[in-house]
Amino acid sequence: MALFFIVLSAECEVCAGVISLDFSFEVEATDPGCGARAGRLRLPHGEVETPVFIPVGTQASVKALTGDDLCAIGAQIILSNAYHLYLRPGVEVIAQAGGLHRFMGWDRPLLTDSGGFQVFSLASLNEVTEEGVAFQSHIDGSSHFLTPEKSVDVQTAIGADIIMCFDECTTYPATHEAAAESMRRTLAWAARCKARCSEQSEESHQALFGIVQGSTYEDLRAESAAVLADIGFPGYAIGGVSVGEGKEEMLAAIEWSAPLLPEERPRYLMGVGPPEDMLEGIERGIDMFDCVMPTRNARNGCLFTSTGRLNIKNRRFCTDFGPLDPACACPVCRGTYTRAYLSHLYRAGEILALRLNTLHNLFFMLELVANARQAIVAGRFPEFKRTFLERFSA
């Protein structure tokens, strides 16, 4: 008896590689003790096992690392940013290169953020209207106008597997009135993004995710999630978190939104986070995470180990000839590098410090979600979380 698997495939219109058309998300296991779930995302450029941590490559580069480095530490998907790429090198350059996959030499899945968050956090805002956002580039002060449609067009040209709706990231703290107005604008924009994307979906095969907003208000988060679910997206993100609110408020934002999102769709908590918060998110049914913190911390000398955070700048590491984390299997800890050498590299301002630290911190995050997934499949996530946190917070 022969078994035949039929996989729909085609040539990617952007990068010209062979891609799967079979976008899907499947929940493979749910932990009996909590909301945690292990899933599998099928994307044009490959499969992604969830929960997943997505390393951030804002400007078409995960800082200090090559694609080979990222593959070696098990990165399944990386994130880049439409706002940054739109400004530099420009969409035309990326389109001419054959899309972001080819431009940066990365053939696994990619996700682009819409630029909404950056327009509101990095650029000088001129005006926000229902139509879109007028802003000035943080690089050269040049004037630009982004609309939901334009953001989709930009992201289509960039060609990531997953693209995000153009949203207004509500500032924190916000009054109920301001949060409501901002959230409803994001909803209107989400519908326009979906419409624009539908016009192009024949060619693009990209999955557009909606983004829940609503700040710290339960009714607004619930309204946002429910309306987005009505519009219907292949995946849903929870945005407007990790913007200065407390941990309680972040967890509340998840708890108010997640139950209203379709169970069979992936849920993405944007910009989170520290290992502790990621585990809280997983416990509440979040499937995807991204955060600049592990890579940014690495460049500042703050490193994760199984027994907690460590600052490599600390004087005691100058003569510590043990590995960074004896329990870690990353290329830095398994290699010839000692804490003393990493400390020297950092103190001497050597570029290699940034690279090795980044490699280690990212491995830590990727390993953490991989282990969390195993625990979910084995039905023992709460125990895994407790054990991890006991050591990590000791």
348 near its own copies (CB under 8 A): yes
Mark whether 290 is an active-site residue: yes
Select which of 161, 167, 277, 290 is catalytic: 290
In the complex with its own copies, which residue's Cβ is closer, 249 or 320? 320
- Helical ranges in the chain per DSSP H: 67-72, 82-87, 91-97, 100-104, 116-121, 148-158, 176-204, 218-231, 247-257, 275-283, 293-299, 339-347, 351-377, 381-392
Mark whether 113 is an active-site residue: yes
DSSP output for 269-299: ETT---HHHHHHHHHTT--EEE-SHHHHHHH
334 near its own copies (CB under 8 A): no
List the structure tokens of 304: 């994760």
- Single residue of 21, 26, 71, 105 touching its own copies by CB under 8 A: 105
- The minimum distance between CB 54 and its own copies, in angstroms, equals 18
321 near its own copies (CB under 8 A): yes
60 near its own copies (CB under 8 A): yes
In the complex with its own copies, which residue's Cβ is closer, 98 or 379? 98
List the structure tokens of 92: 């035309």
- Single residue of 260, 340, 370, 389 touching its own copies by CB under 8 A: 340
- The minimum distance between CB 166 and its own copies, in angstroms, equals 23
* CA distance from start to end of the chain: 55
Q: How many CB atoms lie within 10 A of CB 251?
A: 16
345 near its own copies (CB under 8 A): yes
104 near its own copies (CB under 8 A): yes
For tokens 């943080």, what's the residue? 138
**CA-angle at 287, arms to 232 and 69, nearest 5°:** 120
13 near its own copies (CB under 8 A): no
* Interface positions with its own copies (CB under 8 A): 59-61, 63-67, 88-89, 93, 96-97, 102-105, 318-319, 321, 335-338, 340-341, 343-345, 347-348, 350-352, 354-356
Active-site residue numbers? 113, 290
